[in-house]
Amino acid sequence: MASDGTAAASASRKDDHVRLAAAQRREPATRNDFDDVELVHHALDGIDASEVDLRTRVAHWTWRSPLYLNGMTGGTPKTTAVNRELAVAARETGMPMGSGSIGIALDDPDAAAGFRVIREENPAGLVFANIGVGRSADEARRAVDLLEADALQVHLNAVQETIMPEGSRAFSGWAASLEAIVAASEVPVIVKEVGFGLSRRTLERLRDMGVRLADVSGSGGTDFARIENARRSASDYAFLIGHGSSAVRSLLDAPEDGPTPLGSGGVRTPLDAVRALALGARAVGVAGAFLAPAVSGGAAEVVAVVRTWTSQLRDLHALFGAPTPEALLTKDVLVHGGVREFCELRGID
Ligand code: FNR
């Protein structure tokens, strides 16, 4: 992700992120806000799984399914190997894939190969380049060119920067940077968080800047507050663990006239993906849950996991009587617990 600091420090950070994020996945699954979202069971509403069409329209593309592999890594020998496994899995499953932040390769051309592997392994696939806000429009274009990318993810990661010892604490230029990147980009721009959510106010600001796609990437999954605290000698920012908004809350509070919302952050199972779609996400991004199999078993294990998820996603559509992902928007959803309280506070029906 975005950084100051030396190339060596950036490289070791990338390796730490993968190691610590994969370790989070080995812990028992924790509760998150998706558990407070109930698709009401109507015992006679089911349809045939063979009737389900998972194809999903996002911007001008039609994806095979609503799932995509969210931006994670690249740029060091270890993370290049991870990217290769992920890219092969993306190719084999036809799943769109984001790279990790290409900033490290803009500062250090030697790191570029660790990102180019994503395109080399998947020449015909849908690939997103990824860059941190604060970069110039020219740097954003170079990131897209490096991957011959179909879209550009720009990440907003103020909480992470705050906790990172080498992180930036100068955020006032971000809006202007983002506006310049969006205005100059020749490919669609997806603005995303990295696990702290996008509030209604942020989504409205993005809309006003001309952003058409926003990935809310909320809390409850990979937690960069925990990861960055673990990288510090003292966990001095431990109080920020759990900070931010979940994808569930961000999606519920998203403005109707805002950017098309993509849902990610804390998606643990195909049921979470269905819940995100029912709350308005046009597509669903998964990072940590697909990283863990890449680290433990390589591309073959990721392919197996993605195929299982896709098949179960189809089955869940049949169970809930939804012939398409968009049809989930019409299904009865109840919210409980903290999510319900959030809806009451925000005046959401
Ligand atoms: C990430 N994420 C991320 N996001 C981004 O925009 N640029 C980046 O460079 C990275 N780097 C990164 C590394 C690793 C190891 C992980 C696991 C994640 C954030 C990611 O795209 C996503 O927003 C969050 O991880 C939340 O989703 P999950 O993990 O809960 O599915």
Check pocket membership of 17 for ligand 1, CB cut-off 6 A. yes
Average pLDDT over all residues of the chain: 95
In whole angstroms, what separates CA 58 from the centre of its chain? 15
**Among 249, 236, 242, which residue's Cα sits nearest to residue 224?**
242
**Contacts of 9 by beta carbon, 8 Å cutoff, 6+ apart:** 3, 166
Q: How confident is the model at residue 232 (pLDDT cuts 50, 70, 90)?
A: confident
- Which pLDDT tens digit goes with each residue over 9-49? 777 889 999 999 998 887 777 899 999 999 999 999 999 99
pLDDT value at position 28? 73
Angle CA 309–26–24, to nearest 5: 100
User: What is the token pair recorded at 1?
Assistant: 């992700």
269 is in an annotated binding site: no
CB of 195 closer than 6 A to ligand 1?
A: yes
189 is in an annotated binding site: no
Q: Does ligand 1 have an atom closer than 6 angstroms to the CB of 80?
A: no
Taking alpha carbons only, the member of 267, 226, 302 closest to residue 37 is: 267
Categorize the per-residue pLDDT at 4 as very low, low, confident or very high, splitting at 50, 70 and 90.
very low
Q: Which residue in 64, 32, 42 sits closest to 219, CA to CA? A: 32
Q: How confident is the model at residue 5 (pLDDT cuts 50, 70, 90)?
A: low
CA distance linking residue 322 with residue 326, whole number of Å? 8
3-class DSSP state of 231: helix
Atom 6 in ligand 1: residue holding the nearest Cα: 155
80-134: pLDDT as tens digits: 999 999 999 999 999 999 999 999 898 788 899 999 999 999 999 999 999 999 9
The letter for the amino acid at 240 is L
CB of 194 shorter than 6 A to ligand 1 = yes
Q: Burial, 123: exposed, middle or buried (Cβ in 10 Å; 0-12, 13-18, 19+)?
A: exposed
Establish whether 285 is an annotated binding residue. no
216 C-beta closer than 6 A to ligand 1: no
- Model confidence pLDDT, tens digit, residues 301-328: 999 999 999 999 999 999 999 999 999 9
Q: Position of tokens 């070791």?
A: 12
Nearest residue to 239 (alpha-carbon basis) of 316, 167, 159: 159
Q: Supply the pLDDT for residue 30.
A: 86
CB atoms inside a 10 Å sphere around CB 1? 23
CB atoms within 10 A of CB 214: 24
Binding site membership of 101 for ligand 1 (Cβ less than 6 Å): yes
Atom 13 in ligand 1: which residue has the minimum CA distance? 72
Nearest-CA residue for ligand 1 atom 12 is 72
- What is the rounded CA–CA span in Å between residue 98 and residue 160? 19
Retrieve residue 61's tokens.
């593309």
Distances (CA, A) of 349 to 115, 339, 345, 346: 44, 12, 11, 9
Say if ligand 1 is within 6 A of residue 100 CB.
yes
Strands (DSSP E) along the chain, which ranges? 37-39, 56-58, 61-63, 67-69, 97-101, 127-132, 151-156, 189-193, 213-215, 260-264, 284-286, 333-335
Strands (DSSP E) found in 51-96: 56-58, 61-63, 67-69
Q: Is residue 288 part of an annotated ligand binding site?
A: yes
For the segment 59-71, the average pLDDT, to the nearest whole number, is 98
- Its pTM surpasses 0.95: yes
Q: Is residue 331 a known part of a binding site? A: no
